[in-house]
Structure 1
Amino acid sequence: MALINNTTGLITETNTPGKKYLIPFILITCLFFLWGMAHNLDSILIPHLKKACQLNNRQSTLIDTAVYLAYFLMAIPAGMMLKKWGYKNSIIVGLLLFAFGAILFVPAADMRAYTMFLGALFIIGCGLTILETAANPYATILGDPAGATTRLNLAASFNGLAASVAPVIGALFILSGKEYTSDQLSAMTDAARSAYLQSEASAVKLPYIILAVVLMLVAILFYFVSFPEIKGQSKETSTGGSFFGVLRHKHLLMGVIAQFFYVGAQVCVTSFFIRMANQGGGLDEKTASYYLGLYGFLFMLGRFVGTALMRFVSSPKLLSIYAVVTVALCAVAVLGQGEFVIYALCALGFFMSIMFPTIFALGINGLGEDTKPASSWLVMSIIGGAILPYVMATVIDFNKDQIQPGYIIPLLCFLFILYYGLSGYKIKKQLIA
């Protein structure tokens, strides 16, 4: 029998743990899909707003910077919110912030104001930070601790589903397929050029309005459904939940660094995917977005396959194997030619798929009451997605707008992830006594 707290709406006791955790786990899994949609629509927004707002490479990567800077700045408040308000209430706040940012796309598009788009994306990033800070550790503790990594990878598989759906939505509703050179734009009349650019900017409104409505409906659902608030019960060494104290755990510190490089690498790959397919493979932007959808499908497939493989292969070993393959695929992207480069980028989706949830689960392994602040650090490390794409854009600009040399940046990132899978994940004595 379950006992429900009438004040908080949380389940505090039950004799049927399977039933207690099933519905919350399903709803938490939906969150992975929703924030996956947001992140993967960014990969469409970068080339689209570059065109609509007439941006250069570095300016276009500020889309990534706005979202992932929010992760960095919001991570500590999100962790404090999680400790004070618990998982359920924090998730509702995150959903509402996410929805508000999506709604702001309407005035941003009407004014064709890139700074307003960036502001809206920053607010979306704040909402995503709260959701990820809550949902990632919550997925790991909704059940047997031995299955934490597998459970997180299963939930994150629906993030992969979003990676395959978002590019298709972008191709159908956002990308116009109309591409003009600078000379062609200059030859247009002012009225014709303004009308074209405005139509490109306005294309983002409908998808983001629909997204905002869905988010508000999900927030209402979370409000009325009861969720178990899990308390830390680990007997492992704890620093009492101190935010800075958790860095005494070396495996967490290495996990934070590995997550910084992973997120940076993933964002680098997807942010320049469409332009790489266009420049290297001669594809138009709509066709390139469908290949990005293939990347997303392989990302999703990799999550499911990886989750299944973890029944037979330890998660650190599988992480190491995948890291080796991603290094090799990045080398093909840098040195290869034509369609082989596009296929290598698509294949990266499969082998990157398990990295975020696996690093996350390994990083918080055995932390007990330190799990919530540790989660904030791992989410804060997502700042890599704000920094490394800009570094990649700089490499591209220095190479006269050639995209391929820029993929040396994710290659270097995957080398550190290989180290983490081989050694860095191991739980050792605290760095500070």
Structure 2
Amino acid sequence: MSQTKNTNWGQFIPLVTVFFFWGFIAASNDILIPVFKKAFDLSQGQSQFVSLAFYIAYTVGSIIYMIVSLIMGKDLINKLGYKNSLSLGLLISALGTLLFIPAANLESYPLMLSGLFTVALGFSLQQTVANPLAIALGDPKTGSQRLTLAGGINNLGTTIGPLIVAYAIFGSATEPSSDLSVDSVKIPYLCLGVAFLLVAIFLKFSSLPSHPEQEEENEDTVNVVKDRSSALKYPQLILGMIAIFLYVGVEVSTASNLPDYMQKELGFTISQVAPYVSLYWASMMIGRWGGAAEAFGLDKTKTLILKFVAPYLAFGIFLLVNKIAGHDLKPFYFYAVFILALIIADISTKGNPAKMVLTFSIIGIIALLVGMNTSGLVSVYAITSVGLFCSTLWPGIFALAIKGLGKNTSQGSSFLIMMIMGGGVMSYLQGLLADATTIHFSYVTGIICFSYLVFYAIISPIVLKKQGIHLSEVKSEGGH
């Protein structure tokens, strides 16, 4: 019995390669935005079509998946198998990278967006498969920790992605290229396409299961009210879908509008912005590495120690890759204070998802208010610290949204994945607001998003209690 409860690391490690790619590409988009803005002479709102095209693909992919499954009369992923579905998703993403060749040759912004859309379409299928598969590769009681750990690998990709793509486009930090052309994006994205193909082949012949055994529900996760006919009949899911939409919205829009703010108001060049974009996404890694401490089965004392050590280890990786890239590290040392605040806040929530969402949303509002009312690097660090406080919001929201859904849990999960489109929509809306006012003021968009999350953290325990569900039974699930 104990054998089945151990995490299957031999299968889990190959799986997390796709989590790495999701992060690498998503964060690299923040470098493409200012590049395309200059090359195609776009407004800030128009430049945010990069985020919109990328994140809307998750919703389109989910809809296609549901329609195909309906036509087939059987779930598409169950028909193809988990391993084949992952490989297919990677092949679709590889096809998307090929579109960068004619897009660059024709200097076509719409074709560039089509390439990003296709890459993300493949990611939609991969994400639909990889999240439940990570849960299935061991004890379901530690499923959330495995997803948090996978999320940490995702954010390793978000940390190094902007640096590598910026180096490929601009050259070294000390001698950035002055000749900026959309043609420069071909090589890095073709290299990614080759990587997608290699990983697709690797996963096809890996030991990953095609049809993982479905774990029986634990007694503390069985719905205490009668299952309803649809996941959409549960108010916690409806409220949670809005929360996921706005959470991904503030996470993505905060970073995607940062380069324009630093260029217009602080005088940074496009290439100089890369380490700060990297810091934002590294902040997500820092928070999630601390949140994955329980995944290793240590005693309480060692787990507490790891909660302090792991975030700073992640911060050390950020410093190391920036040192290798030739960036000055002195401006970043003070960020260690923000990390300490994150650790203390995380420990204070004691794993309660409602407290996590409430605490980190309030701190996120404070960080953006500081960023909007200060200038210089103080403002930049306040804005980048939003990444720290977004790092644990996905698992908290996810846990509250699917609690009590019973047989409708998988359907509810697919609806939540669809809401990732909020990353593109909110980025675009913030870009429009920046064009109408100032980029500095446009960060009020994030404050509005966080305000709803505060409301969700307060109302969801009340909704669940009416169904006989108490938060002492709810643990954080998932990780985007």
TM-score above 0.5, yes or no: yes
1:207 matches 2:245: no
Give, in angstroms, the shift of residue 388 of structure 1: 1.2
Q: Structure 2 matches for 1:191-206, cutoff 5 A?
A: 200-206=181-187
Other-structure match for 1:69: 56
Other-structure match for 1:372: 410
Residues 238 and 93 from structure 1, CA distance in 2 versus in 1: closer, same or farther, beyond 3 angstroms? farther
Residues 72 and 21 from structure 1, CA distance in 2 versus in 1: closer, same or farther, beyond 3 angstroms? same
The letter for the 2-side match of 1:78 is Y
1:332 matches 2:370: yes
Q: Specify the SS of the correspondent of 1:16.
A: helix
Other-structure match for 1:280: 265
Give me the whole-angstrom Cα distance separating, in 2, the residues matched to 1:370 and 1:27. Answer: 29
Other-structure match for 2:275: 290
Other-structure match for 1:265: 250
Question: Aligned to 1:412, which of 444, 448, 469?
Answer: 448
Q: Structure 2 matches for 1:310-389, cutoff 5 A?
A: 312-389=350-427
Unmatched runs of 5 consecutive residues or more in structure 1: 1-13, 180-195
Deviations 1:203-250 (A, max 9, x none): 1111111111111111111111233413253373499999x8112222
Q: Structure 2 matches for 1:231-250, cutoff 5 A?
A: 231=214, 233-234=216-217, 236-237=222-223, 245-250=230-235
Q: Specify the SS of the correspondent of 2:8.
A: helix
Give me the whole-angstrom Cα distance separating, in 2, the residues matched to 1:253 and 1:57. Answer: 32
Other-structure match for 1:9: none
Residues 371 and 16 from structure 1, CA distance in 2 versus in 1: closer, same or farther, beyond 3 angstroms? same
Deviations 1:29-70 (A, max 9, x none): 221111111111111111111111221112111111111221
Q: Specify the SS of the correspondent of 2:375.
A: coil
Give, in angstroms, the shift of residue 93 of structure 1: 1.5
Give me the whole-angstrom Cα distance separating, in 1, the residues matched to 2:287 and 2:45. Answer: 31
Give me the whole-angstrom Cα distance separating, in 2, the residues matched to 1:158 and 1:343. Answer: 23
Other-structure match for 2:88: 93
Indicate if the aligned counterparts of 1:41 and 1:167 stay in contact, CA closer than 8 A: yes
Deviations 1:304-337 (A, max 9, x none): 1233357843333223221111111111122222
Question: Aligned to 1:40, which of 27, 33, 44?
Answer: 27
Give me the whole-angstrom Cα distance separating, in 1, the residues matched to 2:372 and 2:142. Answer: 38
Give me the whole-angstrom Cα distance separating, in 2, the residues matched to 1:134 and 1:427. Answer: 28
Give me the whole-angstrom Cα distance separating, in 2, the residues matched to 1:24 and 1:373. Answer: 25
Give me the whole-angstrom Cα distance separating, in 2, the residues matched to 1:343 and 1:373. Answer: 39
Other-structure match for 2:156: 161
Residues 306 and 369 from structure 1, CA distance in 2 versus in 1: closer, same or farther, beyond 3 angstroms? same
Other-structure match for 2:16: 29
The letter for the 1-side match of 2:361 is A
RMSD: 2.6
Residues 214 and 134 from structure 1, CA distance in 2 versus in 1: closer, same or farther, beyond 3 angstroms? same
The letter for the 1-side match of 2:101 is V
Indicate if the aligned counterparts of 2:244 and 2:420 stay in contact, CA closer than 8 A: yes
Indicate if the aligned counterparts of 1:171 and 1:290 stay in contact, CA closer than 8 A: no
Residues 371 and 87 from structure 1, CA distance in 2 versus in 1: closer, same or farther, beyond 3 angstroms? farther
Give me the whole-angstrom Cα distance separating, in 1, the residues matched to 2:188 and 2:394. Answer: 27
Runs of 4 or more above 6 Å deviation: 238-242
Other-structure match for 2:203: 222
Q: Specify the SS of the correspondent of 1:252.
A: helix
Give me the whole-angstrom Cα distance separating, in 1, the residues matched to 2:196 and 2:156. Answer: 17
Moved more, 313-322 or 419-428: 419-428
Residues 239 and 317 from structure 1, CA distance in 2 versus in 1: closer, same or farther, beyond 3 angstroms? closer
The letter for the 2-side match of 1:200 is S
Residues 220 and 178 from structure 1, CA distance in 2 versus in 1: closer, same or farther, beyond 3 angstroms? closer
Other-structure match for 1:128: 123
Residues 419 and 87 from structure 1, CA distance in 2 versus in 1: closer, same or farther, beyond 3 angstroms? farther
Indicate if the aligned counterparts of 2:25 and 2:158 stay in contact, CA closer than 8 A: no
Give, in angstroms, the shift of residue 342 of structure 1: 0.5
Give me the whole-angstrom Cα distance separating, in 2, the residues matched to 1:231 and 1:60. Answer: 43
Give me the whole-angstrom Cα distance separating, in 2, the residues matched to 1:110 and 1:238. Answer: 59
Other-structure match for 2:435: 397
TM-score (norm 2): 0.76
The letter for the 1-side match of 2:276 is Y
Give me the whole-angstrom Cα distance separating, in 2, the residues matched to 1:214 and 1:52. Answer: 27
Deviations 1:368-396 (A, max 9, x none): 54333222111110121221112111111
Indicate if the aligned counterparts of 1:262 and 1:414 stay in contact, CA closer than 8 A: yes
Give me the whole-angstrom Cα distance separating, in 2, the residues matched to 1:316 and 1:31. Answer: 29
Residues 136 and 162 from structure 1, CA distance in 2 versus in 1: closer, same or farther, beyond 3 angstroms? same
The letter for the 2-side match of 1:349 is G
